[in-house]
């Protein structure tokens, strides 16, 4: 609703929403920093108290609080990933780590001076020694643990403060942006620098990866010392405008994708695209030579601009819808110019209206449409996987912070391809046919777990489903065919095999 002073703004103007978002974001940062002193009048306070006493609103507030508590593991996971990303950004990022009370033992910049008696581990559903995570460009997993080693008591000893984790996440995220903007100058002592260099010599250490990236793309740390406070503020404001432009372009690209094949025909000929909606399958060949900064020598006209799952990417070699020459073959655009992003957002917005007005008709071949359908299935598969992951986090949280691995150890070992795989209890025929002569047989829960895992792998649109069925049974009654039909209703990636090999034990 709008109830502001002055004339009613143009709600179809992108700049209005951009400015509103920036204004609210700045005010949120001010509130989180404790820079707001409420000055309500007695009448206004009475109104607020009346709203708080309302039973219906109490239910809403309670629901909001409950939802927030369910998402706490996700907030803590984000904190963990930002810490790891700071470690990967060389000395400036490691200097930010050096100043935090919260730390991860694998990237502790004060490990050589920290008193172990003063360290307090965070406990809870996410922080298990045997639960591991991985990072992009770093295949070695790291344990999911966090410690508190700052001054004063641990700010969240019972692992229940949603505000603490959200505040910590945004604080670290803003500092990571400062590192990317070149606004952080590390000031390590000689002893601290020597300790960091020792960790860089350890094979596979995150600091070693960061050092290799620094050697490949040197950064002048001293330049940050020359920046005035006004210049730093200007850099931050510029970064906010660019991020706002990214968001506007992202929304327009998503609108085109949701506009059906005609909208996707537009996307098929756009230099900007979202990674999950890549209709040209460019990621694999691009990442083969990615230097970790979104650049590739063999593809100088391509760039990964943002690095989340729905990454915003650029390909300057894409021709226009009517075979016009690519717009950016001669030179890449200035991605650090917010005007470029706002201009692209407006142009894409016009194309969205053109699609819905019926002015654009796709000319995809049958093969291209087939590929787009596979991309659609991949997007749906990812959405389902995210929901399952969040549900798993909530289960771990509700279970009192104890690690709950729903996959029994023999099955987990079999999936991971470890030596214990030979002990995996599979009897002849179907995995649902229990053997009575074996010491190990499936329990009811194990059967259901295997069914869930099979359906999960079959649901991946890039999987080939190999349905192996013995010839001496009623084929129509085989559950594998029902599961395959659910996962691949068109039968485009299903292969059926009839065999009698399970009855040939007596042959030489």
Does residue 362 have a pLDDT over 90? yes
Q: Which of 221, 243, 260 is the last residue of a domain?
A: 221
State the CATH number of the domain containing residue 457: 3.40.50.300
Does residue 508 have a pLDDT over 60? no
pLDDT value of residue 158: 59
Does residue 291 have a pLDDT over 50? no
pLDDT tens across 172-182, in order? 888 888 888 88
Q: Rounded mean pLDDT of 391-395? A: 54
Q: Which of 221, 249, 267 is the last residue of a domain?
A: 221
Does residue 439 have a pLDDT over 50? no
* Residue burial 315-350, b: 16+ Cβ < 10 Å; e: rest: bbebeeeeeeeeeeeeeebebeebeebbebbeebbe
Q: Rounded mean pLDDT of 220-235? A: 82
The reply to whether 188 and 81 lie within a common domain is yes
Whole-number Cα distances in Å, 74 to 133, 148, 353: 13, 19, 37
Q: Rounded mean pLDDT of 493-498? A: 90
Distance, in Å, from the CA atom of 129 to the CA atom of 144, rounded to the nearest integer, reads: 6
Let me know: does 111 contact 94? Beta carbons within 8 Å: no
The reply to whether 335 and 420 lie within a common domain is no
pLDDT tens across 9-55, in order? 988 888 888 889 888 878 877 776 667 788 888 888 888 777 766 67
The reply to whether 439 and 480 lie within a common domain is yes
Q: Higher confidence at residue 484 or residue 409?
A: 484
Position 438 confidence tier, pLDDT thresholds 50, 70, 90: very low
pLDDT tens across 133-184, in order? 555 445 556 667 788 888 777 776 655 566 778 788 888 888 888 888 888 8
pLDDT value of residue 316: 86
Distance, in Å, from the CA atom of 456 to the CA atom of 478, rounded to the nearest integer, reads: 18
Q: How many domains does the chain have?
A: 3
Tokens of 173: 């995220």
The reply to whether 240 and 190 lie within a common domain is no
Angle subtended at Cα 164 by Cα 62 and Cα 393, rounded to the nearest 5 degrees = 65
Q: What is the pTM of this model?
A: 0.54
The reply to whether 475 and 356 lie within a common domain is no
The reply to whether 357 and 464 lie within a common domain is no
Cα-based torsion angle of the residue sequence 372, 377, 380, 386 in order, rounded to the nearest 10 degrees:
-110
Q: Higher confidence at residue 147 or residue 122?
A: 147
Tokens of 193: 């620098």
Asked if the structure places residue 295 within a domain, the reply is yes
Mean pLDDT taken over the chain:
76
* Percent of the residues in the chain that have a pLDDT greater than 90, as a whole number: 16
State the residue range of the domain holding 449: 405-503
């Amino acid at each position: 609703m709008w109830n502001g002073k002055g004339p009613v703004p143009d709600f179809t103007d992108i700049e209005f929403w951009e400015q509103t978002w920036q204004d609210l974001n700045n005010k949120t940062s001010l509130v989180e920093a404790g820079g707001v002193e409420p000055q309500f009048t007695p009448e206004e306070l009475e109104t607020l108290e009346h709203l708080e006493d309302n039973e219906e609103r109490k239910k809403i507030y309670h629901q909001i609080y409950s939802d927030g508590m369910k998402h706490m593991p996700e907030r803590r996971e984000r904190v963990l990933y930002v810490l790891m990303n700071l470690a990967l950004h060389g000395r400036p990022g490691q200097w930010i780590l050096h100043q935090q009370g919260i730390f991860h033992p694998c990237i502790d910049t004060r490990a050589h001076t920290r008193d172990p008696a003063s360290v307090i581990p965070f406990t809870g559903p996410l922080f298990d020694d045997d639960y591991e995570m991985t990072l992009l460009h770093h295949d070695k997993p790291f344990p999911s643990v966090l410690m508190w080693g700052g001054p004063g008591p641990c700010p969240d000893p019972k692992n229940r403060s949603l505000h603490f984790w959200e505040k910590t996440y945004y604080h670290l995220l803003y500092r990571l942006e400062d590192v990317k903007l070149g606004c952080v100058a590390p000031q390590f002592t000689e002893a601290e620098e020597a300790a960091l260099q020792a960790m860089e010599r350890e094979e596979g250490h995150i600091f070693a990866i960061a050092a290799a990236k620094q050697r490949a793309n040197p950064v002048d740390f001293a330049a940050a010392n020359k920046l005035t406070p006004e210049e730093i503020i200007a850099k931050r404001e510029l970064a906010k405008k660019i991020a706002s432009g990214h968001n506007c372009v992202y929304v327009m690209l998503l609108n085109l994708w949701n506009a059906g094949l005609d909208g996707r025909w537009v996307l098929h000929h756009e230099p900007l695209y979202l990674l999950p909606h890549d209709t040209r399958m460019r990621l694999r060949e691009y990442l083969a030579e990615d230097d970790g900064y979104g650049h590739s020598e063999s593809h100088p006209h391509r760039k990964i601009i943002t690095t989340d799952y729905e990454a915003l990417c650029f390909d300057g070699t894409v021709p226009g819808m009517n075979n016009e020459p690519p717009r950016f073959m001669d030179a890449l655009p200035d991605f650090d110019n917010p005007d470029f992003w706002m201009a692209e957002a407006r142009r894409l917005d016009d194309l969205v209206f053109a699609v819905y007005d019926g002015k654009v008709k796709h000319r995809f071949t049958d093969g291209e449409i087939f590929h787009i359908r596979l991309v659609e299935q991949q997007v749906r598969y990812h959405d389902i996987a995210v929901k399952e992951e969040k549900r798993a986090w909530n289960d771990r949280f509700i279970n009192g912070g104890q690690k709950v691995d729903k996959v029994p150890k023999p099955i987990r070992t079999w999936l991971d391809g470890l030596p214990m795989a030979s002990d995996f209890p599979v009897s002849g025929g179907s995995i649902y046919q229990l053997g009575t002569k074996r010491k190990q047989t499936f329990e009811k829960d194990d059967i259901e777990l295997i069914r869930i895992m099979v359906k999960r792998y079959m649901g991946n649109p890039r999987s080939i489903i190999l349905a192996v069925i013995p010839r001496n049974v009623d084929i129509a009654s085989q559950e594998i065919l029902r599961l395959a039909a659910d996962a691949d209703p068109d039968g485009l990636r299903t292969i059926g095999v009839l065999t009698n090999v399970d009855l040939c034990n007596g042959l030489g």
